[in-house]
Chains A and B, each alone.
Chain A
Amino acid sequence: ETGVTQTPRHLVMGMTNKKSLKCEQHLGHNAMYWYKQSAKKPLELMFVYSLEERVENNSVPSRFSPECPNSSHLFLHLHTLQPEDSALYLCASSQDRDSHTQYFGPGTRLTVL
């Protein structure tokens, strides 16, 4: 248990569906992150929020839309995804965006049919 939870743990969706991934951290951290992890590839940073403000967007397609309503919650809204978007989506948090230690959630295994 790292103090970061993610739901759902597994998700199967069609290309025309709309779904959302949820992340919650119970650590009192000020920064939260979304990563994509595909097989045999490095962790890819998607979004960073610091004090609920988005500070980094690594050229992620617009079919991925993040939302950070407060410092404890982070969402990733998904729509019209492609099969190549199938991956493990990991949420992480850190005390601040300057912190070198990140705490990861268990991830959501996403399959796009």
Chain B
Amino acid sequence: GQSLEQPSEVTAVEGAIVQINCTYQTSGFYGLSWYQQHDGGAPTFLSYNALDGLEETGRFSSFLSRSDSYGYLLLQELQMKDSASYFCAVNPGGSYIPTFGRGTSLIVHP
């Protein structure tokens, strides 16, 4: 089966940098995705890592280490609008259906 672990909550101040970690145990692995979900909203895709290393998209970056079964989402220059839940998801291969973590609630303070 698949399991993912990520912190339930992270708090930070505006302008800061925050890192949200995700560790996974899967029977297969093709890649790690990150999604953002605001309260009352739909999850929206942020990034995908299939290979080791850092992927940068504006203020957001995502990192993957396949050997450590570990990844993280890095958010820089935090803004109040970044307050949301962030989910990591693994594509285990085969059926390519992602398995989602429980989500990390990010609270950004002024």
Residues of A within 8 A of B (CB): 2, 4, 40-43, 45, 48, 55-56, 90, 92, 97-107
Contact = CB atoms under 8 A, between A and B. Distances in A.
A104 B101 contact: no
Nearest to A98: B96
A44 to B, nearest CB: 8
Contacts, number: 53
Nearest to B96: A98
Contacts of A97: 95-97
Given A4-B42, A42-B4, 13 more contacts: A2-B42, A2-B44, A42-B99, A42-B103, A45-B97, A90-B42, A97-B96, A100-B33, A100-B96, A102-B98, A103-B45, A106-B41, A106-B42
A100 B91 contact: yes
A92 B37 CA distance: 14
Nearest to B33: A100
B36 to A, nearest CB: 11
Interface string B69-109: 00000000000000000010001000111111111000000
